[in-house]
Amino acid sequence: MRTLITGGTLVGPLGATPTEILVDGETVTALFVPGSLPEDLRGSLRDGPDSSVDRVIDATGKYVIPGGVDVHTHMELPFGGTSASDTFATGTAAAAWGGTTTIIDFAVQRTGEVVEESLAAWHAKAEGQCAIDYGFHMIIGGVDDQALKAMDYLVANEGISSFKLFMAYPGVFYSDDGQILRAMQRAAESGAMVMMHAENGIAIDVLAAQALARGGTGPVHHGYTRPPELEGEATNRAAVLARVAGNCPLYFVHMSASEALAVVSAARGAGHNVFAETCPQYLYLSLEEHLGAPGFEGAKYVASPPLRTNTASHHDDLWRGLRTDDLAVVSTDHCPFCFRDQKELGRGDFTRIPNGIGTVEHRIDLVYQGVASGRLSLPRWVETCATTPARMFGLYPRKGVVAPGSDADIVIYDPAASTTISASTHHMNLDYSAWEGFQVAGKVDTVLSRGTVVVAGGEFHGRAGHGRYLRRGLSQYLR
């Protein structure tokens, strides 16, 4: 199957250029400056598909970008007595609808579990289910000698080169500073990336218990008891530990606060292997307007770290971080729980509200709003949503770029179209949208995953099982 994508403007980190793109099978095989197509291909432009090309996709007036790479999802994550509502099947289909063609999900090892067995269980959930390609990070919830050894095994044999640790959630995923240091030393040796959930969970648990004792039981107290200072403190502590561990590569997930970003800026300024991502919810939503919504509505917006106050400059600072590369990636931390049957578990006690927001379908659109509003350049949109995530986690140049030899994961994006986000039209398995009524300039038009059209003309053409497991190499983003 040969496909010619014609008339569009190819956008990558280096800029935007009118380009004709030839796809053969699952792979991009050639790029042409308009007007320079070889004679055999030129015929197909005049007369439509012929012996040289099976399919011509007209991208006139549209952007052509590499498929989105969302490096932070939690399909079917067990959490707080329930499980994230998107399966690998529903979540990856929703991702494809939104122009994301690769996810990296978090496999989970808990204290006492054997890492390799936990990983096998995650493979069993995903295999044959995914509509797009997928990889795994490994959450190490119980750092001990066996788990440390398993980290090396996963890097060498399983295509897993990144490990998430938690300074939050004592008793669940939490690692103490000694465990963190040991895992970082291991990662510094192997070149693996440590991904950090940086919030001081011990202090947060004290504040949460005090709030409940005072009768502060509603969702907004989730925000009050996880102040930005405790994200900044944990971020600094992790950065220091990584340095002591031998400059272990360190990537902060879901960064939400100016205090934390300042730590990353300083560490990067000093030349350390420190990186960070943020998520759309931290760029747009707030403690007052969303988490503090009347009644139990705020439960829809409970995630950790929490949405931050709009009386400080968190949103502006995060957008600036995206421009300066102190924030290198936008991921979603997609972790959906239905309002009716799942968020409900925490009515009367905010600490029991399952943590997470579902956004995997909307990341490309939401970050594009930064372009539409002049906060972000067009190339930077692609870089933060596709190219850098692929490089950061060892998938480049197979993913994250439209270039000869790359997988033909391609999104055709229509900047002239617009949509409004709603639970009534989204494709995530989620009974509400944190983005209800959000007006989006621009729209995903057509999506190819490894050369197969999976979304076009407002229809889904993908299938569970098309997506393949991606064995990843080491990060390609180190200093």
d(CA 173, CA 110): 7
Vertex 317 angle, CA 313 and 318, to 5°: 120
- Residues ≥6 apart with Cβ < 8 Å to 407: 26, 27, 28, 133, 398, 399, 450, 451
Question: From the CB of 300, what's the least distance to Zn ion, in Å?
Answer: 13
At its nearest, how many Å lie between Zn ion and the CB of residue 338?
3
Pick one of 75, 335, 392, 430: the residue that binds ligand URP (CB under 6 A).
Answer: 335
CB 303 to ligand URP: min, Å: 4
**Which residues, numbered 73-102, are part of the site for ligand URP (CB under 6 A)?**
74
Nearest to 98 by CA among 370, 368, 328: 368
Which of 478, 479, 473, 475 has the alpha carbon at shortest distance from 160? 473
Q: Establish if 333 lies at the interface with Zn ion (CB under 5 A).
A: yes
Q: Determine which residue in the list 62, 182, 186, 197 makes contact with Zn ion, applying CB under 5 A.
A: 197
**Considering the rule CB under 6 A, would residue 327 count as an interface residue with ligand URP?**
no
44/304 with CB nearer ligand URP: 304
Residues 11, 338, 357, 376: which binds Zn ion (CB under 5 A)? 338
Query: Smallest distance, Å, CB 70 to ligand URP?
Result: 13
Q: Residue with the closest Cβ to ligand URP?
A: 355
Of the pair 98, 356, the CB lying nearest ligand URP is at: 356
Out of 3, 235, 281, 355, point to the residue binding ligand URP (CB under 6 A).
355
Neighbours of 191 (CB within 10 A): 15
- Residue 304 found at the interface with ligand URP (CB under 6 A): yes
- Scanning residues 233 to 272, which ones bind ligand URP (CB under 6 A)? 254
Q: Which is nearer to ligand URP, 32 or 296 (CB)?
A: 296
Query: Which of 108, 179, 114 minimizes the C-alpha distance to 138?
Result: 108
Q: Taking CB under 6 A as the rule, which mask of x and - marks residues 30-69 in contact with ligand URP?
A: ----------------------------------------
Cβ nearer to Zn ion, comparing 133 with 333: 333
- What, of Zn ion, ligand URP, none, does residue 356 touch, CB below 5 to 8 Å by kind? ligand URP
Distance of closest approach, residue 107 Cβ to Zn ion, in angstroms: 12
- 32 has which bridge partners? 20
362 forms part of the interface with ligand URP (CB under 6 A): no
* Phi, psi at 10, each rounded to 5°: -80, 125
* C-alpha–C-alpha distance, residues 383 and 229, integer Å: 29
Q: Quick check: 449 binds ligand URP (CB under 6 A)?
A: no
Q: Under the rule (CB under 5 A), what is the footprint of Zn ion?
A: 197, 333, 338, 341
Q: Under the rule (CB under 6 A), what is the footprint of ligand URP?
A: 74, 197, 254, 303-304, 333, 335, 355-356
